[in-house]
Structure formats: C-alpha cells, structure tokens
Homo-oligomer: A and B are copies of this chain.
Amino acid sequence: MKALAEHLGLSTATISLVINRSPGAKSIPHVTQERIWAAARKFKYRPNLMARSLRQKRSFTIGVMVPEISEGYSSMVLSGVEDHLFQEGYFYFVVSHRHRKDLIEEYPHLLRQRAAEGIIAVDTVYSGSCEIPAVSISGHRHVKGVTNIVLDHNLGAHIALEHLHRLGHRRIALIKGQDFSSDTETRWQAILSVAQELGIIIDQKLTAQLDSDSPSPEVGHRVTRKLLETDPRFTALFAFNDISAMGAIKALRETGRRVPEDVSVIGWDDIQGAAFHNPSLTTVRQPLRQMGVVAAETLLKRITAPAREYPREIVLEPELVVRESTAPMKQPSA
C-alpha cells in the first residue's frame, strides 16, 4: 500500500478511502479514484486483512466446533454452514473436540482470541456462557447468549413410532444414543412419551445404548448382538441414528434374520448413505444442511445487528422417509 501511495504521489489515507468506498471518498474526484483503482489492479494490491481487522475489530471469521470431522452428521451440517458463510464473505475455523471436556471448555476462548466474531457449535454440550454470539445446533442446554437450533424430537419420535405401530409392530427394540451426544436425552424422553401415548411398551430388556465414541456402525452392531442374546423377541428396531441402524442390520443378518421381513429397522438422520444401503433405510430425516444454513444466518444476523434480543430457540421439523427397511409385521401364523 505504501508502494502504491508513493507510485501515485498520494497518501495512504486517500487510497484507503477510495479502496474501501468509504463515505469520505465522495470528495475525491472521479479521475483520481480511477487512477487508484488502476494502480491497485496493476500491482495486484491486496490489503493485509490482519491489519484491517486489528483496526476495525471485524475479522469476518467464524469458529465452528464439531465433535468429529469424519462423521456424516457434522459434515452435512458443516456443508450448510459453509454455504451461507461463503455467500456472505466470511471464513471459518473448524475445530473438533472429540467430546473432550477440556477442549469444549477451551475452544471458545481460543477462537475468540483468534478474532472469531461468533461461534457455531454442532452437537456439543457446552455450559458456561460465551462472550461472543453463539449458535448451537442440537445443543439443548439453555445457555445465556446462545441460540439453540433444534429438531422437534417429539414429532420425530411420533412419526417413527406411529409408522411402526401402523405396520403392526408392538415389540420394538430401541437403541439409545451415547451419553455425550446432545440429542440423546431429549430424543429418549420424546420416545418414552410417544410410546406411552401409542400404547407401546418400552421393555428394559429391549433397549440398548451406544457406548463408544466411535462414529462407525460397529457400535450399533455390537449392542444389537447383545440385544439379540438377551431377548430376541422383537419385530422392529428403532435405532438412534442411521449409522447404528446399519450396524444393527448387519447384526440381524448375521444371526439369520432378514430385514425387513423378520425385523423392521428404522434409523434417524437420513445421512447420504441411507438411501443406498441394502436394504435402503426407512428413517427420520433431519434437515441437516438446512440446520447449518439457519445457524449461519442466525449467527450473522446477531453479529451484524447486535440486539439485546435474540432468538433463544429455533425448531425445525423432521420428516419420515419410508424406504425398504420397514415392512408390516409378519403374521404370527406364517
């Protein structure tokens, strides 16, 4: 920039005014402005954004916290986030905390230190408030200063269980999520309440819980095998998510059961692979990309128009996607 100024015989102040189209530039005649633009193009001038940020205290940077990058859920959400942030000219840092408490605690500070103007937390249980605007996706805890974007789990549980109920299933096995997943408890309560409403009995012996933080179907596979050893007399299985549903299907097949002829399986999420699994998965679709987009929109709105008021919660609706993995219950006589 100094080089530019020298070359043009102008001061850096003038150049700055013009380049930024700031109101002060209206007193600069058009010819001078053109000279500046031409020179800027010629020398490929690119302002140092660090210096600019330092002065303006705007960095156009967001921090995104996810549990894990390789996993389908976060990736889809990230993709929505990225879409919107990119449109608005923001960049973002990604950090993954692998469910480590200390990192979850520390990252918001680190991000702020790196001049992030806001934080989006995906599937992360965070407590302790935050000095910068934050939006949490499936955060569930109400934390001061944080907008929660959540799914209507009651609706989700309802459409899933009703679907199974209509198909005639009464003995339904359930796979609960890992304790660290922020959706687990909410969804579980929703399922219990809907089950009662529909007259479906929740049997302790028919429920299992994912227990490892691996994002692989292996976990669902393992717990389903255990389930089958304990009490195999169920005709349908409602998994915590599609990943575990896939593991469950493998376990069922390995023990000689056909899906959906012998056991119907329903998942949750509708990840990329769900439609192409064999059998393709009936599942409760979360609008993951949209959740990402909404999160980004909400956050940017809060950043650009800092208001005392901000939405505490935004609820999105799931949708039942019926595919091949569920079928009417076999007639007992058959």
Contact = CB atoms under 8 A, between A and B. Distances in A.
A279 B70 CA distance: 22
State the number of copies, please: 2
A14 interface: no
A238 B202 CA distance: 46
Interface residues of A, number: 52
A38 to B, nearest CB: 19
A47 interface: yes
A249 interface: yes
A276 B253 contact: no
A273 interface: yes
A223 interface: no
Interface of A: 46-51, 53-54, 59, 61, 68-72, 75-76, 78-79, 82, 86, 91-96, 109-110, 112-115, 215-218, 221, 246-247, 249-250, 253, 272-273, 275-280, 289
26 contacts: A46-B109, A46-B112, A49-B114, A49-B115, A50-B50, A50-B53, A50-B59, A61-B114, A68-B79, A69-B75, A69-B78, A70-B75, A70-B272, A72-B272, A79-B96, A82-B94, A82-B95, A91-B93, A91-B110, A91-B114, A92-B94, A216-B272, A217-B272, A217-B276, A250-B278, A250-B280
